[in-house]
Structure 1
Amino acid sequence: MAVILEKPELRIYEIRKRQHRKRIITLIILALIAAVIALGGAFYTISNKRYTEYEVIKSIQKSDTGSAKYYTYGSGYLRVSRDGIMAADSSGSQLWNDTYQMKDPQVSVNGGYVSVSDRGSKQLNIYGPKGLESSNEMNYPIIKSVIASQGVTAVLLSGKGENHINYYAKEGGKEIVNRRTTEKEDGFPVDISISKDGTKLVTSYVFFSKGELSNKITFFNFGGVGDSYIDKIVGADAYGTTLIPDVEFVNNNTVCAFGDNMFTIYKMEETPEAKVKKELDSKVKTIFYNESYIGLVLEDADNIDSSRIVVYDLDGNIVFRKNTDFSYSTISLKGEEIVLNSSRDWLIYQLNGKVRMTSHFEKEIAQILPAPGRNRYIMINDETIDEVKLK
């Protein structure tokens, strides 16, 4: 039989019901806050943990000579030497390989595609996820080649009194564009870089103007927008006597031009626009970058054994700055970390300024490459290739 409550009793019942619901909701909120604080504390502890040791997860015996160089390739690596190239996955299993003879092989890697060109000679090979896509003999000696993420390749060539920018499709190395420049009118080529999607290009040339050496960078668009411009040139910037030895697409829509004591960041979705220009108080020793940051190692005028590492975001804001006397052989960015190593020592900084890793090696290390996954790296010495994890 149903119980019928009088109005006063009904009001008391409803009040108690609402109070009970509020207590439950309050307890749930407090529990969630406690969980977030606990997870945040754990994340902070893990993120700011300082490591001094690492463990070897996998080890592969090396079969090459010490002249081979290694590059990150997908989840694994490339081994490149004068007589061939081999791609391996993270376990060291071969994905593909090829043999050739090159005096000075230079490598450009973008996604699953690789170009290997013989600097000063005429051979250019283009590789994809399954290996060799095309092998090409250039008409002139190669200065530099760069490759996009789908295999489109641009090559800077040096002729007699003239130079060429050739643009190739991956399929059979078919030439799409051949732009001729003359040393008298355009100057001498210094550097070239291509966007990830392969539609944009930037070059740096030096030339003599009124008896002085000057520098100019030029932007090309080989997509639909470029069809409206003469020679597909969508922009240029003159630097006067400031030399720009290095131009880089750090991501698909951002170009950085690096000088000896300055840099400029351009946004280039279709045409270039200078967004940031920084004058530096010291000379640049080394540049390094990823898709989100650019890093510079600057000379210390007062101490030749010391350097200053500065990292900027792509809006030109300083996100990291620190003096160091670490004598590095390589320096790179892995996500939010700066990785330095010499043949005997390893140092990792976080962009928040904290030291992530310091370690001394018992035997000499040739290279350390970033590997997929948190705290994982590929370490190469004279005898083995090791996948390691910080611990």
Structure 2
Amino acid sequence: MTDKINKELHLSESMQNLKEKIRKHKLMRWKRIITAAFLGFMIIFGSYLLLEYRTYENTRVIRTYKGDSSADGSYKMFGDSVLKYTKDGMTLIDQKGKEIWNHSYQIKNPIIEINHEVAAIGDSGGNSIIVIDHEGIKGEIETTQPIEKLSISTNGIVAAVLKDEVSPKVMCYDSTGNILVENKVSAAKDGYPVEIALSNDGTTLIVSYLHVQSGALASNVVYYNFGDAGREEKNNQVAGESYTGQIVPSAFFMDDETSVLVGESGFYIYEGTDKPKLKKEVKFDTEIKSVYHTEKYIGFVLKAKDKKGYEICLYNQKGQRTMSKKFQGDYAHVKMVGETVMMYDGVNCCIYTANGVKRFAGQFQDKILDIVPVGGINTYTVMNINGIQKVRLVK
């Protein structure tokens, strides 16, 4: 009986030892798994930081899609495609250089305005406007006076400033050329229209008039609403503001409700289209060199306060500064796509991210006509005189 009890006790101890060994083995296995996972995470995170915060100085061409090498051609990104336009016509091509459609015309000085999926190409100083989308030509417009400025809504409504030293006009057309609004301006009384901007739905129009007040230049900015909100208002005017002693040469809509006016010494954010209200005013104590924007950001290139170089900065829709960096170099072109700011002039290029990381500072192989980030790590589509190139930034 005693032997039986001893055997049972020994068996019990053996089972406990076995369970303890199994527990320790599982614990060690989990420790190894956690350690390996942590090391893997650190490697991936470290690689991400290396890629995200590194400044690149060189480029490598991954692929070239040859164009027709016409020296007078210009390129613009149009959605996911590329629009090439010259004095003789335009061609929509995909990012691999394959033609989607083309259209011939005679436009001496083409200017272009793009709003998401539609665009208007006008003849600066001429009388022709062509409205397009990704399917082709939506319509053609003939104006009665020379074209100075263009703006287009997302539904294809076109606003234009028509030149006349005494009686300029601000016109709105549908995409097929029908006149929707005709506003005759008295340059002596109202000032001269120097900037226009249409809301996305085409119902609200911003016009900045330049005039002389008490011997000094001033701007009078007017919001017109051609929907229900402006029907009962005189001349459809739903808001207006005078800016004494400064010019307001730039205006744009960030989204359906938010618009921005940019003056010589700062900018103004307005909310609403029925009865626009000033939401935020931001003043600068230095010169504005360039303005750019997306639906999320308002961007500026400013002269540095110490007069040595420049400052690139971003503001959100609330007028709060979200990024600011000083840089050297003078770039004629600046644009922002998504979270990337690109400045370029000739072959020289500088790229910043929205969080202030200098992604690239260097030269491309050919003169840059347009550039846009695409899928892939540090990969860009670059338009130049030789066609379209897919380029990767390298150390």
1:28-63 superposed Cα distances (whole Å, 9 cap, x missing partner)? xx89x9699667666545433443444434312221
Superposed, 1:268-283 pairs within 5 Å as: 268-283=272-287
Q: 1:241 Cα shift?
A: 1.8
Q: Give 1:293 shift.
A: 1.0
Among 284, 307, 310, the alignment partner of 1:307 is: 310
Alignment of structure 1 residues 207-356 onto 2, 5 Å? 207-300=211-304, 302-303=306-307, 306-356=309-359
CA distance in 1, matches of 2:152, 2:229: 21
RMSD of aligned Cα (Å)? 2.8
The equivalent of 1:201 in structure 2 is 205
TM-score with structure 1 setting the length: 0.84
Task: Name which of 140, 149, 157 aligns with 1:152.
Answer: 157
Task: Kindly name which structure, 1 or 2, has the bigger radius of gyration based on alpha carbons.
Answer: 2
The residue number in structure 1 matching 2:129 is: 124
- Correspondence 1:48 to 2:53: yes
Distance (Å, rounded) in 2 between the aligned partners of 1:81 and 1:264: 36
Aligned-partner SS, 1:244: coil
Q: Distance in 2 between matches of 1:44 and 1:302?
A: 32
- Partner SS state of residue 173, structure 1: coil
Point out which structure has higher relative CO (alpha carbons under 8 A, 6+ apart). Answer: 2
1:269-310, Cα deviation, whole Å (9 max, x unpaired): 43211111112111111111111111111123643x611222
1:107–1:114 Cα contact (<8 Å) kept: yes
2:382 aligns with one of 379, 383, 386: 379
User: SS state of the match for residue 368, structure 2?
Assistant: strand
Q: What SS does structure 1 have at the residue aligned with 2:322?
A: strand
Which shows bigger deviation, 369-378 or 332-341? 369-378
C-alpha contact (below 8 Å) 2:69/2:387 kept by paired residues: no
Q: Which residue number corresponds to residue 11 of structure 2?
A: none
Q: Which residue does the alignment assign to 1:5?
A: none
Report % sequence identity: 25
| More off after superposition, 222-231 vs 107-116 | 222-231
Unaligned 5+ runs, structure 1: 1-19
Segments of 5+ residues of structure 2 without an aligned counterpart are 1-22
Report 1:51-66 matches (<5 A): 51-66=56-71
Give the partner amino acid of 1:309. I
Q: Which amino acid aligns with 1:109?
A: I
Whole-angstrom CA distance in 2 between matches of 1:176 and 1:37: 60
Distance 1:196 1:41 in 2: 42
| Structure 1 residue 321, shift from structure 2 partner | 1.4
CA contact (8 A) 1:126 1:133 kept: yes
Residue deviations 1:335-364 (CA, integer Å, cap 9, x gap): 222212232333212232222123333x33
Which residue of structure 2 aligns with residue 16 of structure 1?
none
Residue 78 of structure 2 corresponds to residue 76 of structure 1: no
How far apart, in 2, do the equivalents of 1:49 and 1:156 lie? Answer: 45
Q: Which segment drifts farther, 290-299 or 335-344?
A: 335-344
Residues paired across the two proteins, number: 366
State how far apart, in whole Å, the 1-side matches of 2:186 and 2:40 are: 64
d(CA) in 2 for partners of 1:198, 1:90: 30
SS of structure 2 residue aligned to 1:135: strand
Candidates 135, 138, 141, aligned match of 1:136: 141
Answer whether contact 1:370 1:377 (CA < 8 A) is retained: yes
Give me the whole-angstrom Cα distance separating, in 1, the residues matched to 2:228 and 2:393. Answer: 47
Amino acid at match of 1:115: A
